[in-house]
Amino acid sequence: MGRYVYFFAKGKADGSAKMRDLLGGKGANLAEMANLGISVPPGFTITTEVCTYYIEKGKYPESLEEEIKKNLKRLEEETGKKFGDADNPLLVSVRSGARISMPGMMDTVLNLGLNDTTVNGLIKQTGNERFAYDAYRRLIQMFGNVVMGIEGEKFEELIEKEKEAKNVKNDIDLTAEDLKKLVQSFKEVVKKEKKEEFPQDVFKQLRMAINAVFASWNNRRAINYRKIHKIPDDWGTAVNVQAMVFGNMGNDSGTGVGFTRNPATGEKKIYGEYLVNAQGEDVVAGIRTPQPLSQLKEDMPKVYQELLEVTQRLEKHYRDVQDFEFTIEKGRLYLLQTRTGKRTAQAAVKIACDMVKEGLITKEEALMRVEPGQLNQLLHRRIDPEAKVNILAKGLPASPGAATGKIVFSADRAVELAKDGEKVILVRRETSPEDIHGMAVAQGILTARGGMTSHAAVVARGMGKCCVAGCEAIRVEEKERKFTVNGRVFKEGDFITLDGSTGRVIEGKAPMLEPKLSGDFEMLMRWADEVRTLGVRANADTPKDARVARQMGAEGIGLCRTEHMFFGEDRLPFVQKMIMAKNKEEREIRKGGLNIIQNIKRKAGEDGIKALAECLLAFQEVR
81 to 45, 91, 110, 609: CA distances (angstroms): 19, 9, 17, 83
- Are 503 and 432 in the same domain? yes
Residues forming beta bridges with residue 504, ordered by sequence position: 394, 499
pLDDT at 46: 97
Q: Residue 436: pLDDT above 90?
A: no
Q: pTM of the prediction?
A: 0.72
Q: Pick from 496, 530, 564: which residue ends a domain?
A: 530
Minimum mean pLDDT range among 195-209, 221-235, 422-436, 449-463 = 449-463
157 to 161, 162, 281: CA distances (angstroms): 6, 9, 18
For residue 133, being part of any structural domain is answered with no
Q: Are 536 and 528 in contact (CB under 8 A)?
A: no
- Are 292 and 439 in the same domain? no
pLDDT at 572: 62
Mean pLDDT confidence for 297-306 = 95
Spatial distance between the Cα atoms of 268 and 292, rounded to a whole number of angstroms: 16
Q: How many CB atoms sit inside 10 A of residue 389's CB?
A: 17
pLDDT at 538: 82
Cα–Cα nearest to 564, from 606, 522, 520, 604: 604
- Are 418 and 317 in the same domain? no
537 to 186, 368, 565, 602: CA distances (angstroms): 64, 22, 21, 28
Mean pLDDT confidence for 345-366 = 95
Mean pLDDT confidence for 222-249 = 90
- Domain range for 369: 347-379+516-530
Q: Residue 264: pLDDT above 70?
A: yes
State the alpha helices, DSSP H only, in 128-265: 129-146, 152-166, 176-194, 202-215, 220-229
pLDDT at 607: 54
User: What is the DSSP secondary-structure string of 257-305?
Assistant: EEESS-TTT--SS-EEEEEES--HHHHHHTSS--EEHHHHHHH-HHHHH
**Greater pLDDT, 221 or 605:** 221
Residues 6+ apart with CB under 8 A from 528: 367
pLDDT at 570: 58
Query: Residue 617: pLDDT band by 50, 70, 90 thresholds?
Result: low
**CATH number of the domain where residue 365 is located:** 1.10.189.10
Query: Residue 513: pLDDT band by 50, 70, 90 thresholds?
Result: confident
- Are 410 and 459 in the same domain? yes
- Are 388 and 319 in the same domain? no
Q: Residue 78: pLDDT above 80?
A: yes
For residue 59, being part of any structural domain is answered with no
Q: How many CB atoms sit inside 10 A of residue 226's CB?
A: 19
Number of domains observed in the structure of the chain: 4
Query: Residue 380: pLDDT band by 50, 70, 90 thresholds?
Result: low
**CATH number of the domain where residue 442 is located:** 3.50.30.10
- Are 328 and 352 in the same domain? no
User: What is the DSSP secondary-structure string of 519-580?
Assistant: HHHHHHHHHHHHH--S--EEE-SSHHHHHHHHHTT--EEEE--GGGGGGSTTTHHHHHHHHH
- Are 441 and 503 in the same domain? yes
Residues 6+ apart with CB under 8 A from 210: 46, 68, 94, 239, 241
- Are 327 and 418 in the same domain? no
Query: Residue 118: pLDDT band by 50, 70, 90 thresholds?
Result: very high
SS3 606: helix
pLDDT at 623: 40
- Are 325 and 368 in the same domain? no
Spatial distance between the Cα atoms of 41 and 34, rounded to a whole number of angstroms: 9
For residue 458, being part of any structural domain is answered with yes
pLDDT digits (tens, 9 = 90+) for 37-65: 999 999 999 999 999 998 888 889 999 99
Mean pLDDT of the chain: 87
pLDDT digits (tens, 9 = 90+) for 458-492: 888 878 789 999 999 999 999 899 999 989 999 99
Spatial distance between the Cα atoms of 354 and 48, rounded to a whole number of angstroms: 35
Minimum mean pLDDT range among 108-122, 235-249, 426-440 = 426-440
Measured between its terminal Cα atoms, the distance across the chain in Å is: 64
- Angle (deg, nearest 10), helices 176-194 and 152-166: 150
Residues forming beta bridges with residue 6, ordered by sequence position: 45
The rounded radius of gyration (Å) of the Cα atoms in the chain is 29
- Are 526 and 421 in the same domain? no
**For the chain, percent of residues with pLDDT exceeding 70:** 88
Query: Residue 606: pLDDT band by 50, 70, 90 thresholds?
Result: low
**CATH number of the domain where residue 269 is located:** 3.30.470.20
Query: Residue 27: pLDDT band by 50, 70, 90 thresholds?
Result: very high
Q: Return the H-helix or E-strand segment holding 93.
A: strand 92-98
Mean pLDDT confidence for 545-567 = 72
Cα–Cα nearest to 506, from 380, 404, 430: 404
pLDDT at 580: 79
Minimum mean pLDDT range among 100-104, 442-446, 483-487 = 100-104
For residue 274, being part of any structural domain is answered with yes
